[in-house]
Structure formats: structure tokens, C-alpha cells
Amino acid sequence: MSESASFSAEAYFATQPAPQLLAQEIAGVKEFVARQAAQNRNVVLVTSGGTTVPLELNVVRFLDNFSAGTRGATSAEYFLKAGYAVIFMHRQFSLQPFSRHYSHSTNPFLDFLALEGDGPGADTVGITAAKRADEDLLAVLTAYKRVQTAGTLHTLTFVTVDDYLWLLRAVSQELSVLRRRAMYYLAAAVSDFFLPRQKMSEHKIQSGKGSLHIEMDQVPKVLKPMVEEWTRDGYIVSFKLETDQRLLIPKARAALERYGHQVVIGNELHSRKVQVVFVERKRKPMTFVESWLRIAPAPSAAIHVKEIEEDIVAELLRRHEAWIGEA
Amino acid sequence: MSESASFSAEAYFATQPAPQLLAQEIAGVKEFVARQAAQNRNVVLVTSGGTTVPLELNVVRFLDNFSAGTRGATSAEYFLKAGYAVIFMHRQFSLQPFSRHYSHSTNPFLDFLALEGDGPGADTVGITAAKRADEDLLAVLTAYKRVQTAGTLHTLTFVTVDDYLWLLRAVSQELSVLRRRAMYYLAAAVSDFFLPRQKMSEHKIQSGKGSLHIEMDQVPKVLKPMVEEWTRDGYIVSFKLETDQRLLIPKARAALERYGHQVVIGNELHSRKVQVVFVERKRKPMTFVESWLRIAPAPSAAIHVKEIEEDIVAELLRRHEAWIGEA
């Protein structure tokens, strides 16, 4: 490990360019936060989906992190249902609350529609909903329209790990005016590595020259400045995803010790839809408290299964309430 | 470049595992091809979207190629419109014909729906289409239902470059029964590099140990065995995407000389929606023929713009017809 391989957050923001539309996007966030504050709503920032690391300035190739955005999109729905306002900061094309139920492959949208009338010429008369009595769609649509009317969902989009880091800092700073009433639910799968602008090649890396060598630097650990500088007493929830279950608790504890935030939710790749562990640090006496949250695995790929995010969010609402009460 | 960095197609298929469901998927393709052959339809295999290269066996991180799948999904629609049957082999979650017009961000599906009735209790009565007279949706839906009725679209999904290579070989072999009536439209953005199974780490690569080093091997050049072994006189169209415009024609010519297929369509990343170049090799005398195809750039992000794929497909239909006539 060379010295240059590790950027502090400060060095990172001093050397890497900000996304072009950042100021504009943050103006939108400021307005949203003020509106929610005026209505005495708690606000949660939900980050969701993976980040990319472009290997070229004219991007063709990039390193990516696996994440469809299920955890974030699903959780956002439950936060909204509980009356929170949500800033949903997600990877472009990752799942979103409500529309997540209808991907192009699962329940394709066009299959819900039929042409009105039958026989020749039917295609000229109009469109009608094919499954008028579809209860799932009705429930989703009702919740969606309620949120639209209430104006409690604000969506932001990122693609690269650079977009993500700049947005995270700026949104956190805006949200910090809410002090303890702000929650930060960091479910995005953020790359641990990045390629500094100065090391990128301008054009597409050419093949035909043997094997590909990539060397990347570490992404700065932003939880520390997030706790110490960007937020003020906000309730910060981070996630730890591992493929080796035995690493979950030691790594969650290490993160809490290093960054000093409120809770780490640990999950293992293959069991993450049925169990997670909440890891917290108690101050007096100095101990770690772990509590597992489990749901019964779905008997099949049926539609009406319990989603673990419902319980995760319920548990966090309880803890956030207590956190607000401690002030 | 070490010797081991370069796999022949033969060595690749001998050492890398096949996707689990391959046999099942190919049975579906065989049935589809037989049905189209019985109806005397030309069949085009359209590949679309990027491929991933997993860095770990329990995948969290992967290398990806930029591609939303616009070229492939759009072209597939025009092939279908022209009466071709289409095997649409695409990256999971990349755009698909018809539904591509309605992403979660562009024209979101749920915005087309409204709850029936107004006022309290309205959310219990049902669903109706919000924009009954929407002409764009009507045109898309009509084309979609026609294709469903005709049974001329067969969709296959890949994620990794391994999935892609195995599927490509097997589908090409099935399609080869159609001889010259088969077209292969290879629009997918396929990785030039991969990580052999034997070199993958089992678990998530741990950060905190300095910078990341990745070393990958070259993906075998499959166009050569495709021309010589997997297909029989099929019309093969490959794509060349570059960010440096000056590389387009030399690289297209080199590909034609090396692999001996019918045409390379060259496109530059930033201008690819308004111009492409068709590069062909004539045999007597041995010359290359380049012809540019351009459309007027859209004045704005308006919805009703001409799509260059309409002209690309029209040009290919003409050339494919001539190719069939030469037999």
C-alpha cells in the first residue's frame, strides 16, 4: 500500500471535480427540507443502489457494485407510510419506491394495458386498464398518489462514486438543520475503490494488447466527517454487506468504533432478505449490543410475502424516536 | 502480455463453466426457430446491452460496459415491424423493445394511471388509464400486442460475459439451420476482458488493505468461430464503438479482414445517435466500401424524433435481401 492509495475526505473533495448540476440539485433539496421542517416532519435520507467507478474519461468501461436497490426502494416506501419525508438518493435505473413492483421483466407495465374494443380497428379506439380489479396495483397506486399529494418524496440520482460522495456531503449538510429529527439510512452499495481523475485514460482502453491491469485508490471513509462535520446529532444508520457471515459482527463493531455513528445493520449476501443484525454501541458501560431480526422465508416466489424492510423500518422508527427523546 | 492472457474460443469453452439453465433456454430457441422456419420468416438474433465481469464468486463487485441497450432494443422494434422474427438476447434490466419507451424515470408507468372517481374512498373503486388518448402509448401498445399475437419475439437474458458467450454460441448454432435467412446483429457491448473462474476470489474483496489491483485475461474473439463454425452463411453484423472517431474505419477494416463476416457498423460514443458508418469488404477486386448514414440531430429532447435505427435496419434489410439472393 502506497501513501497515495489513501485519500482523506478533505483531500478527495479538494482534488476531484464536483458534478455539474450539484448546486441546482441542492437548491431543490433545501426547498424540500424547509417545507418538511415547516410541517414538523422527520426526514430520512435513503441512499440506494450501487455506484460506478469509470475507468475512462469518455466512459465505456466501469467497475460496478451489485445492487438492484431493493433494500433502499422498499425501505423508502415504509418510511413514507410511517409519515416520514424521504430524500431518495439512488443510482440511476435502480429500483424506486412504488414503481419497483413493476419492472420490465416482473409484471411488465404493458401487460396491464389492453386496447379498447375488439376486432379490426380496435387499435384506434384507445387504452384501458386490462386488470381493473388488480388489488396489488390498486394498493401501490393509492400509496403512490398519496405521497405525490403530500409532497413527501424527493428523488436524486447518481451514477458514479464521485456523484455519490459530492451529493452525500451536500445533502447531509442541508439536512443537518433538522438536528435529531434527521435520519440517514445509507443503504447504497458504495465502491471502496475509485480511480482519481488524474489517473484516468481519456479514451476507451484498447484491447488486443494482452491482459488488463487496473489499479485503484481507496475511497475516503466519509462516515467520520459525516458524523463529526456534515450532520448535527442526526441518526445515522450504515449497512455492512458481507458474503462471509462470520465477518459481519466484528466488522460492524469496528465501524461503530471508528466512526461513532448510531447503528450498523449487518447483512449477508444470500440471507439478506430474511435476516439482518442491528449492532449498536452503548456508552455506559461501553458495550456492543447486537439484535437479530428475522422473518420466515417465503414458501415460494409468491407476490404477497412479508418484506423484512417493514420490520427494519419499524425498529428504526422506535430507535429514532428514543434518540429524539434523549435531546 | 503473457501466453496465458489469451484464450482461444476452444480453450475458453473447455475451461469455463456453462450457465445452469443453458440447455433449457436452448430448447426454447429451437422451438422458436422451427416455428419461424415453418412460416418462412427471416430471423435476426439481436444482442443488446453490456456484459459484466464478476470479480468474486459470490458476486458483489464486477466490471461493466456502458450500455443502456438503446441500439439493440430500438433496432429490434424495427426488425419486428419489417416482418422479421427476433431473438432478443439482452443484458438483464437493459432496455427492451416496446417497454423501452417507458422507463421508471422517463414517462413513469404509474403516471399513466389514475384512481377511478374522486374524493374520499376513491382509492377503493379501481384503476383507469389516466391518459386515454395518449397517441404515443397507443402506437407502442398496438405494435406490442401485434408482436405478441404473431409470436415473433423471443427474449433471452444474460448478465455476465460468460452467460453471453455460452448463449451466443448455442443460439448461433440453432439459428444456423436457416442458413442465409438468419441475420446476426451483434449490438451488445461485450467486455474485452474477463476473469477466469480459476482466478476469482471466493468472497468479497476486502478493502482497508490499500489499493485494488485487478488483472484480467482477454475474452476470446468469437467472431471467427462464429463465421467458420457456428453459423452457415448467415449475415453477420458486428458493431465497433470508439471514443476516438479516427479509429473507427481502421478498426472496422481490421475486424473484417480478421473474421471474414459481412459488415461492421462503426459508431463514435457521442455521435452514435445521429451517424454511423457501414464498412464492408468486396471480394473482387479486394476493396473496402464505407458508407455513412446520418440523420438530422433532434432540435430538442422532443419525443417524436427520427431514430437512426430505423435507417440502419432499412439498410440492412436491403443488404440481407441481396445476400439471400446471391445463394
B218/A215 Cβ within 8 A: no
Taking the C-alpha atoms of residue B191 and residue A204, their distance in angstroms, rounded to an integer, is 12
Cα separation, A141 vs A138, whole angstroms:
5
- Which of A43-52, A155-164, A258-267, B277-286 is least confident? B277-286
What number is the average pLDDT over the span B204-217?
71
| Range with lowest mean pLDDT among A128-132, A189-193, B96-100, B124-128 | B124-128
A207, closest residue in chain B (CA to CA)? B192
Query: Has residue B39 got a pLDDT over 90?
Result: yes
CA atoms within 13 A on the CB side of A218: 19
Q: What percent of chain B has pLDDT over 90?
A: 63
Residue range B3-325, CATH number? 3.40.50.10300
Question: Which DSSP state fits A84?
Answer: -
Q: Are A85 and A43 in contact (CB under 8 A)?
A: yes
Short-list A140, A106, A124, A119, CA closest to B141: A124
Among A58, A109, A218, the strongest candidate for a mutation testing the B interface, having the largest count of B CBs within 10 A, is A109
In the predicted model, what is the mean pLDDT of chain A? Answer: 87
Residue B128, pLDDT above cutoff 70: no
User: Across residues B14-33, what is the average pLDDT?
Assistant: 96
| Min Cα–Cα distance to chain A from B189, Å | 9
Interchain CB contacts (distance < 8 Å): A and B: 211
Phi/psi-derived region of residue A95, left when phi > 0, alpha when psi is between -120 and 50, beta in every other case: beta
User: Is A56 or A246 the better-scoring residue by pLDDT?
Assistant: A246
Record: contact A216-B217, CB cut-off 8 A: no
Q: Find the CB nearest B203 among A1, A192, A243.
A: A243
Q: Interface pTM (ipTM) of the complex?
A: 0.73
Per-position b or e across A219-257, b if 16+ CB within 10 A of its CB: bbbbbbbbbeebbebbbbbbbbbbbeeebbbebbbebbe
Cell of B288: 473496402
List CB contacts (< 8 A) between B145 and chain A: 115, 123
Q: Does the beta-carbon distance from A58 to B243 stay under 8 Å? A: yes
Top-level class of domain A3-206+213-325: alpha beta
CB contact under 8 A, A193 and B204: no
Minimal Cα distance from B213: which residue of A?
A: A215
Residues of B in contact with A157 (CB under 8 A): 105
Mean pLDDT, residues B2-21 = 81
B130 CB neighbours in chain A (<8 A) are none
Position A204 scores a pLDDT of 65
Quick one: pLDDT at residue A207? 59
Do B108 and A115 make contact, defined as CB atoms within 8 angstroms?
A: no
Least confident range from A133-142, A151-160, A270-279, B15-24: namely A133-142
Is residue A185 a contact partner of residue A316, using CB atoms and an 8 Å limit? yes
| CB within 8 Å of A293: residues ≥ 6 apart | A275, A276, A277, A278, A308, A311, A312, A315
Cβ B139 vs Cβ B12: under 8 Å:
no
CA–CA dist B16, B18 (Å, integer): 7
Q: At residue A245, what are phi and psi to the nearest 5 degrees?
A: -55, -35
Beta strand pairing call for B153-158 and B127-129: unpaired
Asked if A93's CB is within 8 angstroms of B104's CB, the reply is yes
Chain A residue closest to B57 (CA)? Answer: A243
By mean pLDDT, which of A72-86, B117-131, B150-164 is the weakest?
A: B117-131
pLDDT attached to residue A132: 46
